[in-house]
Structure 1
């Protein structure tokens, strides 16, 4: 697979749970995939922060990858989140994802004890030796403590199977430096919701976007307007509807916000796992109001257990 496959909007997807949160809801995965793909979104990214990967066992992470690959059925690419604290677990999950049919893997740097750049090169290098599909570097410094320079990120691209990176750092100047100065070594993908319009307008070819799990058609339409047609007037009109939703989601626990959103639009994915609590009723209604203002139909409350 070439870098070019990472085009369009790739939805960061939830991990649907049964009502008590104890197991993966297999039918729920199909509901999510049909909702998202049917809305025109260009790819699925299970097993990331939106998918609550830190609350899943290794076997559940493998199961989620398998279910989303099966649900996508070759219609759109699936990029499986496989990052873990140890190289061994990351390799195990990445090898499994390739065998399961994932088109690429997304790997967050080991978190809690931030590795040095030399350790990161070894970490991604070790994974690169075990798989033949591309790696998307998941840049989220607030969670990992890892702050790479644009030059280091480019070096990572040259020396490993990292072909792209999802930027969830929120520093648009840093993102632009990588995109403008190091495109030959690594492809920049936006991963910060409220910077989506700016990233697409500046020429980013793709984004990994949790909001696309809730309002896929609006997100796909934004990409078509801005990135494909270069129609900034239409893009701004769409963005005026989408931005308040993105702003809301960035102001709350993100996975919980997305799960609340998919429930409100009629494709419930069950609760988030503890310790994450449901949104307070007033915030839930605020999100409903924002969706309605964007022209999105919501359903009668069916609060997850």
Structure 2
């Protein structure tokens, strides 16, 4: 798989859990995959921030990757999140993801002792030596503590198996600089919800988007309008419906918001895991109203549930 094949909207997916939160819900994963792919979304990204990966054991992370690949059943590519605090665990998860059938892996830099650029090159180099599928760099400086320059990001791609990156930095100028000056080295995928329209209009080939898990049709329609048909007028109309939802999600715990969203549209994924608390009832009601205003069918009648 090459970087050019990452086009469209890839849903950053949740990790469905059983009612008590103690185990991964395999049937819930199948339910998520069918709903998202059925809505026209072009790929799945399990095991990232939206998937609460920091609360999962190593075995659970492997299980989630396997189950999403199985549930996708070749309909769309699966990019497995395999970032970990150590290079050894990152390699272990990445090798497993490749064997499970993932099309690529997404790796966030180790996020406790933020590595230097030389250490980052060694870290991603070790993964690149261990697998034969592409690596997506997960740029999220607010969490990882790693802030690369556009030139460093391009160098990382030239020296390792990194072919693209998910940008969850929220800096549109930085994203645009990479798009305009380093497209030959690395492909930009937007990962900051409220910048989706701007990134696609500026030529981003793809986006990794948590809200696509519960508004897949709207997300797919936006991509088609802006990136495929280049109909900015239609895109603006869609974006006017979508933007308030994205703005809401960025104002609350993101995992809790996405899990509330999938529940509201009838594809419940169970609770969040502590320390993340469920979205409070008043906020859940607000999200429900935003979905209705956007024309999304809501299955949940009891907003305080």
The TM-score by the shorter chain falls in which range?
Answer: over 0.9
- State the alpha-carbon separation in 2 of the partners of residues 303 and 217 from structure 1: 23
Q: How do residues 204-219 of structure 1 correspond to structure 2 at under 5 angstroms?
A: 204-219=204-219
Q: Match for residue 267 of structure 1?
A: 267
- State the alpha-carbon separation in 1 of the partners of residues 50 and 278 from structure 2: 15
**Cα distance, 1:10 vs structure 2:** 0.2
**Cα distance, 1:271 vs structure 2:** 0.4
Q: How do residues 238-277 of structure 1 correspond to structure 2 at under 5 angstroms?
A: 238-277=238-277
Q: Does 1:139 align with 2:139?
A: yes
**Cα distance, 1:300 vs structure 2:** 2.6
Q: Match for residue 69 of structure 1?
A: 69
**Cα distance, 1:114 vs structure 2:** 0.5
TM-score by length of 1: 0.99
**Cα distance, 1:302 vs structure 2:** 6.7
Q: Would you say the 8 A contact 2:281–2:304 is kept in 1? A: no
Q: How do residues 91-240 of structure 1 correspond to structure 2 at under 5 angstroms?
A: 91-240=91-240
**Partner SS, residue 178 of structure 2:** helix
**Partner SS, residue 279 of structure 2:** coil
Q: Would you say the 8 A contact 2:82–2:107 is kept in 1? A: yes
How large is the Cα RMSD of the aligned pairs? Answer: 1.1
Aligned residues: 305
**Partner SS, residue 41 of structure 2:** coil
Q: Does 1:57 align with 2:60?
A: no
Deviations 1:134-174 (A, max 9, x none): 00000000001100000000000000000000000000000
TM-score by length of 2: 0.99
Q: Match for residue 28 of structure 1?
A: 28
**Cα distance, 1:22 vs structure 2:** 0.2
Q: Match for residue 293 of structure 2?
A: 293
Deviations 1:177-215 (A, max 9, x none): 001100111101100000000000001000000000010
Q: Would you say the 8 A contact 1:190–1:204 is kept in 2? A: yes
Q: Match for residue 14 of structure 1?
A: 14
- State the alpha-carbon separation in 2 of the partners of residues 254 and 66 from structure 1: 24
**Cα distance, 1:278 vs structure 2:** 1.1
**Partner SS, residue 129 of structure 1:** helix
- State the alpha-carbon separation in 2 of the partners of residues 216 and 65 from structure 1: 21
Deviations 1:39-64 (A, max 9, x none): 00000000000000000000000000
**Cα distance, 1:303 vs structure 2:** 8.2
Gaps of 5+ in 1: none
- State the alpha-carbon separation in 1 of the partners of residues 153 and 248 from structure 2: 30
Q: Does 1:280 align with 2:295?
A: no
**Cα distance, 1:70 vs structure 2:** 0.2
Deviations 1:92-133 (A, max 9, x none): 000000000000000000001100000000000000000000
**Cα distance, 1:224 vs structure 2:** 0.2
Superposition misfits of 4+ residues, deviation over 4 angstroms: 301-305
**Partner SS, residue 77 of structure 2:** coil
Q: Would you say the 8 A contact 1:200–1:223 is kept in 2? A: yes
**Partner SS, residue 130 of structure 2:** coil
- State the alpha-carbon separation in 1 of the partners of residues 289 and 11 from structure 2: 22
**Partner SS, residue 63 of structure 2:** helix
